[in-house]
Structure 1
């Protein structure tokens, strides 16, 4: 009886005094917009975006915290901007490499690439376009082989496509249209 009374009192005490921390927001706006600093896609020249960035409403909510780019296994994976490797290893059975981007503030922007076989170790300096790994075999994340490319500033997830300048996002060829009323020569 005493034990039950003690447990009931303890449960009441915990219920009134313990306040678990709220999950970190993942879709709040970044402190400043990321610059269009990438000079190339991380795989290929204009890969198809198989799944776009879809930030969750809450820290642990459903969503997609990056973009999935179509690419065959064995494709070179390149850093999109200069920086330093902040992580290279396994996460949940998948190879991951993260690069903190130079000159992006405090805390810095960090890009992530998975599933990859990292070619560099933590601390390695990288230049834009330098190969950081090789795309590994599909892990079930995509229906076909893909690179999951992410972008974060501290705990806030951002759309990695914002790193690409508008001209690099243009997928179609340039077309010249005739000027109405212009004389033909």
Structure 2
């Protein structure tokens, strides 16, 4: 498996699911974290794959909701802290792990609200990271599809000229 060098957009093998709408307004960690490993859908429901993306993040860093929703789970699964958020007005659910939750089931969140902090251990990455997942029902989707294109672009911001104002 190769490390991701940028956003990876893949459709689930053998499915015709509707892609997720670009409703997120922020990354779950940092402003433009490195994608350590991209989404790799399995060829079959129980096949090998990577059902989310791994984002570089230091231990203790805040983890934020990417869109408005309601916490549907906040607890431990297989020794890892997990937070799941059902996104408002959709049939989508995002997951974040390993995260020490700062919320409880039923809490409402807005885009950018903290849901917890990155745990120092429990990650499957070689360094601390957050595994960010996206589901529609039981089907995993690429969580990067939630982000609008302007959030996915790399590179420095650039200033554009203001038209109609004379230069000094």
Of 157, 170, 179, the residue aligned with 2:140 is 157
The 5 Å alignment of 1:110-149 reads 110-149=93-132
Who is 2:32 aligned against? 46
- Measured in 1, the distance between the counterparts of 2:59 and 2:16 equals 34
Unaligned runs of 5+ in 1: 1-25, 177-185
Answer yes or no: is 1:56 the counterpart of 2:42: yes
Asked if the contact 1:138/1:146 (under 8 Å) is kept, the reply is no
Q: Corresponding residue for 2:153?
A: 170
Query: Cα deviations across residues 61-114 of structure 1 (Å, max 9, x unaligned)?
Result: 11000000000000000000000000010111100000000011xxx1000000
Alignment coverage as a number of residue pairs = 147
SS of residue matched to 1:144? coil
Q: In 2, Cα distance between the equivalents of 1:97 and 1:72?
A: 18
Q: Within 2, Cα distance between the matches of 1:29 and 1:148? A: 25
How do 1:10-21 and structure 2 match up within 5 A? none
What runs of 5+ residues in structure 2 fail to find an aligned partner? Answer: 1-11, 160-168
CA shift, 1:58, in A, is 1.1
Contact 2:84 2:94 in 1 (8 A): yes
Q: Distance in 1 between matches of 2:32 and 2:157?
A: 15
Give me the whole-angstrom Cα distance separating, in 1, the residues matched to 2:33 and 2:149: 15
Give the match for residue 29 of structure 1.
Answer: 16
Q: Which residue of 2 aligns with 1:70?
A: 56
1: CA distance between counterparts of 2:16 and 2:72? 23
RMSD: 1.4
CA distance in 2 between partners of 1:120 and 1:146 (Å)? 20
- Which digits, 9 at most, give the CA deviation of each residue in 1:144-167, with x for residues without a partner? 110000000001100000000000
Secondary structure at 1:173 match in 2 = coil
Structure 2 CA distance for aligned equivalents of residues 56 and 160 of structure 1: 15
Q: Distance in 2 between matches of 1:174 and 1:83?
A: 30
**Is 1:100 aligned to residue 86 of structure 2?**
yes
Distance 1:90 1:118 in 2: 9
